[in-house]
């Protein structure tokens, strides 16, 4: 029996000096960043955490309590909500990992903290186990989050520290956690307005999911840092002087955009880093608040446009129309010296803190922050709506609906009366109609955008005025699901479609029961399903749906059943299984392929294949994916399909390493760009075939206005061989770029 009072008093608890110092540093941060702090409450939480983890150590050798201390520090510095959240951060692992019970937490700290710890424990269990589907994981996350907003706040801090210390885990776990972070936690952090935290999560994820691109970007930024800082200083100087002369109190500085946003820009524009120019922005933070602060932002904008030529289409007013997560700022892009585009953000100090720390900072500026239960409920309404929404009937639907709530790019749409609605980029009139009201969406037959009729699939733009035309006779069209993007529209269309489908299935079942009885058939549902499968129906529901909808004649199926019943059973179930096993063993034999270390053991008798989406070669960091056919497909860790495979099919991921076998060739592809000059193709083939003794599988070249692009498919031995090729090709006169590239292919 654990004595609560003894632990809390800590009379026999000797805390190592370094952790006592860390606690005092944490308390000092609480005094700076929190509106109020109960220091004794936090000290008690630390004592329990220290005692509970007293025998646990991290891989580095330090006590495990270093982790909850680090999580609490992140919570205070980057979220800064309240001291209850700090205590929760210190105790977030104790119920799951130690002998401390939830009842102990309830007795020692009260019901509110116990509820948060319970939510964190359930959430942690959802993401550690492999026994539940991804949809169940997300549903548990949302249930925990809906109970108390601090649950997700502490989880953000916990996930950031885990990402900061991810290098100690095996590669396949690194990839799973990084993919989960990038696809779920980073967008969710954005939804709550934690911009700084979101950027860190994205950048850390990029380092593990696309390590080559991460290294390219970080190296490129480091190499260009001096030139970039010089340009920023030259741009800022006249602007700073003018603003000081006009009496503004402000901070102005340049900052590089986060690595992941640069990576996305490179992929979207299909350009190397050196051809991406808008990789930094200038930020101006004004001291004025309230109406005067907003007015000052516009005055500063006027000064900027006096000094530099603005690009009108790149102007965004998020002050008058804030983003859904509370973000406010003026964004403009101007032409700076040397004709370079420079993005400038203008905001007040309060707007800046909300932009960096999200809703927590928003409440900091309001009276009675701890009493803002109604605002907390409003913030989590979208979570509860989705949990209570009966339309997300499948795992895939549920996860997709959840992610649709996390969109980070928004447009603003107006009704003819001037009412404002926020929608995600890519939204259509049907999305808008359902946002206005479910009945408006369901009875929508047409739309006018800015006074002109448009198709219902028309993609809306920010600032559009939209008028929806309805008819009581109209019902949702199942084809709408192909172009709508909001969760509400998808769920309502899916609900109507599923309802009509169920009605057709019931009607089809009734038809079958009546006709089969009349024909004197006696057959179980299991046997019925076998016949349906032979006729290419995926299941009985589809069969009865098509019968009930008039798409398939029930009499035809009766004939098929009668024919199947007359057939003699020629193979037992055991024979079928034996044949399947023998077929698998035959397919597992390989010849002429290098042995691989699979789960730490050498295998040359297991069927392997090299994924065409990333063409791995010895030297690449790789993992294995067990396909449905039993073949292990080898992917590069940087493969564009890796995050999806690792995140959604983790049970099929296998640890794989290259063996030392030599004299085996692999396919690699390069993209080459340069000047279109006479003899360039001959120089390429000379270097590849003769100088480096490399076999060429294919070359495709295209030219346009004096520039050429070529794709080379080559046979190489390993990554070192490929790197030598790239280095040598780069030295050919007129070659401007050589990049390894991948095809787009989805795994099955």
DSSP string, 568-607: PP-S-HHHHHHHHHHHHHHHT---SS--EEETTEEESSS-
Look at the alpha carbons of 270, 260, 484, 331 in this order and tell me if their dihedral is positive or negative.
negative
User: Catalytic residues, which ones?
Assistant: 96-97
Return the DSSP state at 529.
H
What are the phi and psi torsion angles at 717 (to 5°)? -90, -40
Residue by residue, DSSP assigns 280-310 as EEEEEEES--HHHHHHHHHHHHHHHHHHSEE
b/e code 189-200 from CB counts within 10 Å (16+ = b): bbbbbbbbbbbb
Do 712 and 670 touch, CB atoms closer than 8 A? yes
Q: Which residues contact 215 (CB under 8 A, 6 or more apart)?
A: none
Angle at 378 between CA 373 and CA 380, to 5 degrees: 95
Burial class (CB in 10 A: 0-12, 13-18, 19+), 609: middle
Closest CA to 594 of 583, 605, 580, 582: 605
What are the phi and psi torsion angles at 290 (to 5°)? 65, -155
pLDDT given for residue 577 in this prediction:
42
pLDDT given for residue 125 in this prediction:
57
Q: Which residues contact 174 (CB under 8 A, 6 or more apart)?
A: 166, 167, 208
Do 292 and 348 touch, CB atoms closer than 8 A? no
Radius of gyration of the chain (CA): 31
Beta-bridge partner residues of 740: 670
CA distance 678 to 658: 41
Can you tell me which residue has the tokens 């002998």? 99
Do 450 and 458 touch, CB atoms closer than 8 A? no
Cα–chain-centroid distance for residue 648? 12
State the angle between helix axes of 487-518 and 429-436 in degrees (0 to 180), rounded to the nearest 10.
90
Q: Is the pTM of this model over 0.85?
A: no
Angle at 677 between CA 675 and CA 683, to 5 degrees: 95
Return the DSSP state at 258.
P
CA distance 659 to 39: 56
Instruction: Report the Cα–Cα distance between both ends of the chain, in Å, rounded.
Output: 52
Residue by residue, DSSP assigns 18-41 as HHHHHHHHHHHHHHHHSS---HHH
CA distance 676 to 328: 48
pLDDT given for residue 197 in this prediction:
92
For residue 457, the number of C-alpha atoms closer than 13 Å in the C-beta half-sphere is 7
Do 392 and 407 touch, CB atoms closer than 8 A? no
Burial class (CB in 10 A: 0-12, 13-18, 19+), 7: buried
Q: Which residues contact 346 (CB under 8 A, 6 or more apart)?
A: 284, 286, 297, 300, 301, 304, 329, 330, 331, 332
Q: Residue 703 corresponds to which tokens in the numbers above? A: 């030219």
- The fold for domain 666-740 equals Alpha-Beta Plaits (3.30.70)
Closest CA to 532 of 510, 514, 508: 508
Q: Residue 83 corresponds to which tokens in the numbers above? A: 């001291």
Return the DSSP state at 465.
B
Look at the alpha carbons of 386, 391, 392, 397 in this order and tell me if their dihedral is positive or negative.
negative
Antiparallel, parallel or unpaired: β 601-603 and 622-626: unpaired
Instruction: Profile the chain (748 residues) by mean pLDDT over runs of 10 residues.
Output: 55 74 93 89 92 81 87 92 91 88 90 88 60 52 70 91 88 84 84 86 92 90 88 93 93 90 85 80 89 92 93 87 81 90 92 78 52 50 54 51 59 82 88 90 90 91 88 87 85 84 87 84 80 81 83 81 64 47 38 52 67 80 80 83 75 75 70 81 82 79 77 82 86 82 45
Do 240 and 253 touch, CB atoms closer than 8 A? no
Angle at 89 between CA 88 and CA 94, to 5 degrees: 75
- The fold for domain 4-209 equals Hypothetical protein af1432 (1.10.3210)
Angle at 405 between CA 400 and CA 408, to 5 degrees: 110
Cα–chain-centroid distance for residue 112? 31
CA distance 151 to 79: 12
Q: Residue 506 corresponds to which tokens in the numbers above? A: 């019931």
Helices marked H in 99-224: 102-109, 111-128, 134-147, 149-164, 171-180, 186-191, 195-209, 211-223
Do 354 and 193 touch, CB atoms closer than 8 A? yes
Q: Which residues contact 46 (CB under 8 A, 6 or more apart)?
A: 23, 26, 69, 90
Do 85 and 79 touch, CB atoms closer than 8 A? yes
Look at the alpha carbons of 335, 338, 343, 349 in this order and tell me if their dihedral is positive or negative.
negative
Antiparallel, parallel or unpaired: β 632-636 and 608-610: parallel
Query: Considering the domain 217-371 in this protein, what is its CATH number?
Result: 3.30.460.10
CA-CA distances (angstroms) from residue 203 to 73, 212, 329? 20, 13, 23
What are the phi and psi torsion angles at 640 (to 5°)? -65, -20
Q: Residue 128 corresponds to which tokens in the numbers above? A: 């550690």
CA distance 465 to 450: 5
Do 610 and 633 touch, CB atoms closer than 8 A? yes
């Amino acid at each position: 029996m654990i004595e609560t009072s003894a632990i809390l008093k800590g009379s026999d608890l000797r805390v190592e000096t370094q952790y006592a110092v860390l606690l005092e540093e944490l308390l000092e941060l609480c005094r700076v960043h929190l509106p109020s702090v109960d220091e004794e409450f936090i000290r008690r939480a630390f004592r329990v955490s220290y005692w509970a983890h007293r025998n646990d150590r991290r891989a580095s050798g330090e006590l495990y309590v270093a982790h909850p201390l680090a999580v609490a520090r992140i919570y205070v510095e980057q979220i800064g909500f309240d001291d209850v959240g700090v205590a929760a951060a210190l105790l977030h692992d104790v119920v799951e990992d130690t002998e401390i019970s939830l009842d102990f937490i309830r007795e020692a700290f009260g019901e509110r903290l116990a509820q948060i710890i319970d939510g964190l424990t359930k959430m942690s269990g959802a993401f550690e186990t492999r026994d539940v589907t991804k949809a169940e994981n997300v549903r548990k996350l949302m249930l925990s989050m809906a109970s108390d907003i601090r649950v997700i706040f502490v989880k953000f801090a916990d996930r950031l520290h885990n990402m900061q210390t991810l290098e100690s885990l095996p590669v396949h776990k690194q990839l799973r956690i990084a993919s989960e972070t990038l696809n779920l936690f980073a967008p969710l952090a954005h939804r709550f307005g934690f911009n700084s935290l979101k950027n860190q999560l994205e950048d850390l994820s990029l380092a593990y999911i696309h390590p080559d691109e991460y290294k390219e970007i970080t190296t490129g930024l480091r190499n260009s840092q001096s030139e970039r800082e010089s340009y920023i200083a030259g741009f800022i100087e006249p602007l700073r002087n003018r603003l000081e002369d006009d009496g503004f109190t402000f901070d102005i500085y340049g900052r590089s955009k986060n690595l992941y946003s640069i990576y996305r820009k490179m992929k979207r524009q299909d350009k190397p880093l050196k051809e991406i120019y808008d990789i930094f922005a200038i930020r101006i933070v004004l001291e004025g608040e309230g109406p005067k602060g907003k007015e000052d932002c516009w005055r500063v904008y006027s000064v900027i446009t006096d000094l530099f030529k603005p690009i009108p289409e790149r102007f965004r007013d998020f002050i008058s129309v804030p983003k859904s997560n509370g973000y406010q700022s003026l964004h403009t892009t101007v032409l700076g010296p040397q004709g370079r585009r420079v993005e400038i953000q203008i905001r007040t100090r309060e707007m800046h803190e909300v932009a960096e720390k999200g809703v927590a900072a928003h409440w900091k500026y309001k009276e009675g922050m701890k009493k803002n239960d109604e605002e907390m409920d409003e913030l989590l309404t979208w979570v509860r709506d989705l949990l209570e929404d009966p339309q997300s009937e499948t795992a895939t639907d549920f996860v997709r609906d959840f992610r649709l709530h996390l969109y980070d790019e928004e447009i603003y749409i107006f009704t003819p009366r001037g009412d404002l609605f926020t929608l995600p980029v890519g939204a259509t009139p049907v999305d808008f109609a359902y946002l206005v009201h479910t009945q408006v969406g369901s009875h929508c037959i047409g739309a006018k955008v800015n006074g002109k009729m448009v198709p219902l699939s028309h993609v809306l733009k920010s600032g559009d005025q939209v008028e929806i035309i309805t008819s009581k006779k109209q019902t949702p069209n199942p084809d709408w699901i192909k172009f709508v993007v909001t969760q509400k529209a998808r769920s309502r269309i899916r609900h109507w479609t599923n309802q009509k489908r169920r009605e057709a299935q019931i009607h089809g079942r009734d038809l079958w029961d009546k006709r089969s009885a009349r024909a004197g058939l006696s057959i179980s549902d299991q046997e019925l399903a076998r016949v349906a499968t032979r006729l290419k129906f995926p299941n009985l529901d589809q069969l009865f749906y098509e019968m009930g909808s008039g798409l398939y004649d029930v009499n035809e199926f009766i004939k098929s059943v009668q024919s199947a019943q007359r057939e003699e059973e020629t193979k037992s179930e055991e024979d079928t299984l034996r044949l399947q096993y023998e077929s698998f063993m035959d397919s597992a034999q390989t010849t002429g392929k290098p042995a691989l270390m699979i789960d730490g053991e050498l295998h040359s008798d297991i069927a392997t294949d090299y994924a065409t989406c990333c063409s791995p070669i010895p030297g690449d960091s790789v993992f294995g994916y067990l396909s449905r056919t039993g073949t292990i497909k080898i992917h590069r860790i940087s493969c564009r399909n890796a995050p999806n495979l690792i995140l959604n099919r983790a049970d099929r991921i296998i640890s794989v390493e290259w063996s030392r076998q030599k004299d085996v060739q692999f396919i690699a592809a390069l993209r080459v760009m340069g000047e279109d000059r006479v003899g360039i193709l001959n120089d390429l083939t000379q270097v590849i075939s003769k100088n480096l003794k490399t076999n060429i599988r294919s070359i495709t070249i295209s030219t346009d206005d004096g520039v050429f692009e070529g794709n080379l498919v080559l046979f190489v031995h390993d990554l070192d061989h490929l790197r030598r090729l790239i280095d040598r090709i780069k030295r050919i006169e007129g070659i401007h770029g050589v990049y390894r590239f991948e095809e787009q292919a989805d795994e099955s």
